[in-house]
Amino acid sequence: MILVVAEQRGGALNPATWETVAAAQQTGESITVALVGADVQKLAAELAAAEVAEVLAVEHDALEPYTPDGFVAALAQVMEKACPELVLFPHTYQTRDYAPALAARLGRVFIPDCIASKVRDGQRVFVRPMFQGKFMADVLPQGPAPHFASFQIGACRADACARGAAPAPVREAAVEIDAAAIRQRPEAPFKEAKQAVDLTQAERIVAVGRGIKGQEHLPVAQDLAKALDAELAASRPICDSGWLPMDRQIGSSGQTVAPKLYLAVGISGAIQHLVGMKGARTIVAVNKDADAPIFEVADYGIVGDLFEVVPAIMAALEGEA
Amino acid sequence: MKIAVCIKQVVTRDWPLRVAESATWVRDDDASFEMNEPDAYALEEALRLKELLGGEVVVCSAGPARVSQVIREALARGADRAIHVEGEALAAAEADAVAAALAGAMEGESFDLVLTGLQSDDQGFGQTGVVLAERLGLPHATIIMEVDVADDGGSLRVKRELESGWFQWVSMPLPALLTIQSGINQLRYATLRGIMAAKRKEILTVPAQSAETAGQRILELYVPEKSSATRFIDGSAPEAARELVRLLREEARVL
């Protein structure tokens, strides 16, 4: 049995959960989904629509808000009772915060940031990037089950998650948590930037990189984003320079997105950027360097000066509107 | 305040790495190495806390003899002394093994605060800090963008980066462990005076104890396949732009 650990915050499921369920479904094994929190029945019912054997509602007042101590204690108990062979997580910041401690406490291996799993010589292996994505590795988990693995956001498509003919049963999984033993005291999450945006939900994104040369040229990209009804995003150097707020950053240290259209303007495509956007359905790159790595993942490429090409795209959009 | 900073030595970012003949690791015998960038931010944060609160900064690194290069660099930037857990196998070890090696050497030190980078540029597990916290019995928080130590020195309030532009303040008692996000501060570089001073600073070298770790075995390391064949659109800027818009509408159907 595969246990998928779902993620929720503030009454909503993290969409990456569906991607991880889809990854689990690809193995053909029986799947149980666990959802942890204080009051998760409604979201558990939502999860039960997926083609899975069972949904576990792991509820305790001390599990809201999220803390690593609380989640490690709760899920360690769930593992002991459910005895899964494999435990899968979405590779979110929350997973990164507690899953390594959970695996260490149980003496189990945790293979993070996987993009796929496959059977190799009769054994299940996990594929993950190493050395900033320069290489991929087929990794075989060792030691006793359950083995833990997390799937990179966008590694599977959420819409690939099969729905069941009838809702899966939801069962309450009782856990004992000593609230006084939880050492972290979290405060309410907040957004720093006033116009903070969740780029993961955007259908179209125009992203700008070093090729834009200066903050004064940003309107070139802003106008294109507006014309395409797209969100404006950037590679890390643009945000480090303060030309755009950090919450507009795409890449390993920023957001990971999989929009329908990703139009990269003046972005060379360092791997730290590529990991954040290569899941996009259609990728367009405009860059003056034909050898730029961005073209390795682009579906359509225009080699040229962005200050000529972008206005031309605007004109083409208007001309045919 | 007694602060430990765990740093890793990794292959230089732009080194042209190749897969080794074994196909399970890289050819790094002739590579140049540097301090893992997120760890450099952790070191800088430790130095700033020491300047604010007093105490000492101890650099801890697990790896083969060559990691003394980044240990010296950390000492030159201002760390007070170092612990080098030495072992050849640590060069390619997984996070759990590195955390076990570090924990063995750090246990007796009773650090008030342990800082690590959030992940390494080589294997990128992003686990060493969290597993180290578990092994040392410390509370932890990850991907930290700001650190405030309470006036009485007994607790911390830290700003965690969440996804999608969200942040969260989290308090916890000391001692504790934090994994530090790149960009939390502006890095300093070693001065000539720092480099000279580093020569007199103590590096305690201890052999790595073999530890029972769960294990992830690399069966094969390979260059990823290009995920798509790019269709280059030629012509003048207006011609290429018109063709692109047509393709996005009629072929890709994303407009």
Give the residue from A262, A302, A303, A307 with the most B CB atoms within 10 Å of its CB, the best one to mutate.
A302
- Do B48 and B140 have their domain in common? yes
Find the range with the poorest average confidence among A230-234, A263-267, B81-85, B164-168: B164-168
B19 touches chain A (CB under 8 A): yes
**Rounded Cα distance, B234 and A303, in Å:** 8
Q: Are B97 and B165 in a shared domain?
A: yes
What's residue B240's pLDDT? 97
Whether residue B201 is found in the same domain as residue B234:
no
Supply the pLDDT for residue B163. Answer: 77
Task: Tell me if chain B has a CB within 8 Å of the CB of A255.
Answer: yes
User: What mean pLDDT comes out for the span A254-282?
Assistant: 89
Please check whether the two domains, A2-181 and A199-319, share a CATH topology: yes
| 3-state per-residue secondary structure call for chain B | CEEEEECCEEECCCCCCCECCCCCCECCCCCCEEECHHHHHHHHHHHHHHHHHCCEEEEEEEECHHHHHHHHHHHHHCCCEEEEEECHHHHHCCHHHHHHHHHHHHHHHCCCEEEEECCCCCCCCCCHHHHHHHHHCCCEEEEEEEEEECCCCCEEEEEEECCCCEEEEEEEECCEEEEECCCCCCCCCCCHHHHHHHCCCCEEEEECCCCCCCCEEEEEEECCCCCCCCEECCCCHHHHHHHHHHHHHHCCCCC
Q: Total domain count for chain B? A: 2
Looking at the domain assignment, is residue B40 inside a domain?
yes
Mean pLDDT for the stretch of residues A188-209? 84
Closest to A186 in 3D by CA, of B246, B156, B176: B156
Domain segments of chain A as ranges: 2-181, 199-319
- Phi-psi group of B165: left, alpha or beta (phi > 0 → left; psi -120 to 50 → alpha; rest → beta): left
Query: B242 CB near a chain A CB, below 8 Å?
Result: yes
Give me the pLDDT at residue B201, please.
Answer: 97
Nearest CA distance, A54 vs chain B (angstrom): 28
Instruction: Please state, rounded to an integer, the average pLDDT across all residues of chain A.
Output: 92
Res A236 pLDDT > 60: yes
> Is residue B174 domain-shared with residue B86, that is, in the same domain?
yes
Q: Please check whether residue A108 is in contact with residue A84, taking contact to mean a CB–CB distance below 8 angstroms.
A: no
Can you tell me the mean pLDDT for A20-29?
A: 96
Q: What percent of chain B has pLDDT over 90?
A: 82
Q: Rounded to the nearest 5°, which phi and psi values hold at A257?
A: -130, 155
Query: How large is the average pLDDT for residues A43-51?
Result: 97
Q: How many helices (H) and strands (E) does chain A have?
A: 9, 19
Question: Same structural domain for residues B159 and B239?
Answer: no
Please state, in angstroms and rounded to a whole number, the distance separating the CA atoms of residues A226 and A230.
6
| Partner-chain residue, chosen from A144, A308, A313, that has the shortest CB–CB distance to B245 | A313
How many C-beta atoms surround the C-beta of residue A163 within 10 A? 9
The answer to whether residues B173 and B245 belong to one domain is: no
Q: What is the pLDDT of residue A63?
A: 97
Considering only the beta carbons, identify the residue of B218, B231, B237 that sits closest to A312.
Answer: B237
* Cis check: omega of the bond before B175, within 30 degrees of 0: yes
Question: Would residue B219 count as lying in a domain?
Answer: no
pLDDT per position as a tens digit, B214-249: 689 999 999 877 555 889 999 999 999 999 999 999
CB B244 within 8 A of CB A316: yes
Q: Do B228 and A69 touch (CB under 8 A)?
A: no
Host domain of residue B237: 224-255
CB A55 within 8 A of CB A170: yes
What is the model's pLDDT at position A320?
A: 58
Asked if B76 and B195 sit in the same domain, the reply is yes
**Cβ–Cβ under 8 Å, residues A246 and A254:** yes
Answer whether residue B64 is part of any domain.
yes
Per-residue model confidence as pLDDT tens digits over A63-108: 999 999 999 999 999 999 999 999 999 999 999 999 999 999 999 9
Task: Decide if A261 touches B, using CB distance below 8 A.
Answer: yes
Q: Is the pLDDT reported for residue A3 higher than 90?
A: yes
Residues 132-151 of B with CB under 8 A from A: 133-135, 139-143
The residues facing A50 across adjacent strands are A163
Mean pLDDT of B177-202: 91
Shared domain for B79 and B116, answered yes or no, is: yes
Residue B136 vs residues B2, B103, B104, B133: alpha-carbon distances, Å: 15, 6, 9, 5
pLDDT at B140 over 60: yes
For residue A10, the model assigns a pLDDT of: 84
* Contact indicator for B61, B84 with CB cutoff of 8 Å: yes
ipTM value, please give it.
Answer: 0.89
Please state the rounded mean pLDDT for residues A281-301: 90
Do B234 and B144 reside in the same domain of the chain? no
Please check whether residue B42 lies inside any domain of the structure: yes
DSSP state of A53: S
Residue A294 buriedness (CB in 10 A; 0-12 / 13-18 / 19+): buried
Residues of A in contact with B143 (CB under 8 A): 93, 96-97
For residue A202, pLDDT beyond 70: yes
Amino acid in position A104: A
Residue A24 has pLDDT above 90, yes or no: yes
**Superfamily holding A2-181:** HUPs (3.40.50.620)
- Does A4 score more than 90 pLDDT? yes
Q: How confident is the model at residue B164 (pLDDT cuts 50, 70, 90)?
A: low
Q: Considering only CA atoms, which of A316, A214, A31 is closest in space to residue B239? A: A316
Spatial separation of the C-alpha atoms in residues B62 and A108, rounded to whole Å? 22
Q: Minimum mean pLDDT among A45-49, A161-165, A197-201, B247-251: which range?
A: A197-201
Q: How far is B197 from chain A (nearest CA, A)?
A: 32
| Confidence category of residue B118, pLDDT binned at 50, 70, 90 | very high
Q: Are residues B114 and B238 in the same domain?
A: no
Q: Say yes or no: B116 and B238 in one domain.
A: no
Q: Which pLDDT score is estimated for A196?
A: 65
A55 contacts chain B (CB < 8 A): no
Q: Which of B116, B132, B163, B171 to mutate against chain A (most A CBs within 10 Å)?
A: B163
pLDDT-derived band at A270, boundaries 50, 70, 90: confident
What would the mean pLDDT of B10-18 be, rounded to a whole number?
85
Q: Which amino acid is at B162?
A: L
Judgement on whether residues B147 and B96 belong to the same structural domain of the protein:
yes
| Residue B164: Cβ-neighbour burial (10 angstroms; 0-12, 13-18, 19+) | middle
pLDDT tier at B212 (50, 70, 90 boundaries)?
Answer: low
Using a CB–CB cutoff of 8 Å, tell me whether A191 touches chain B: yes
d(CA B30, CA A249): 35
Q: What is the pLDDT of residues A238-258, one digit of tens each?
A: 887 778 988 899 987 788 899
pLDDT of residue A291: 72
Residue that has been written with the tokens 């369920």 in this structure: A21
Is B252 within the bounds of a domain?
A: yes
DSSP β-ladder status, A147-151 and A110-114: parallel
Q: Is residue B217 part of a domain?
A: no
Domain contains B214: no
> In this structure, is residue B241 part of a structural domain?
yes
Confidence of residue A193 (pLDDT cuts 50, 70, 90): low
Mean pLDDT of chain B, nearest integer: 93
DSSP secondary structure string, A75-92?
Answer: HHHHHHHH--SEEEEE--
Q: Is residue A171 over pLDDT 70?
A: yes
What is the distance between the alpha carbons of residues B104 and B210, in angstroms, rounded to a whole number? 10
A199-319 folds as: Rossmann fold (3.40.50)
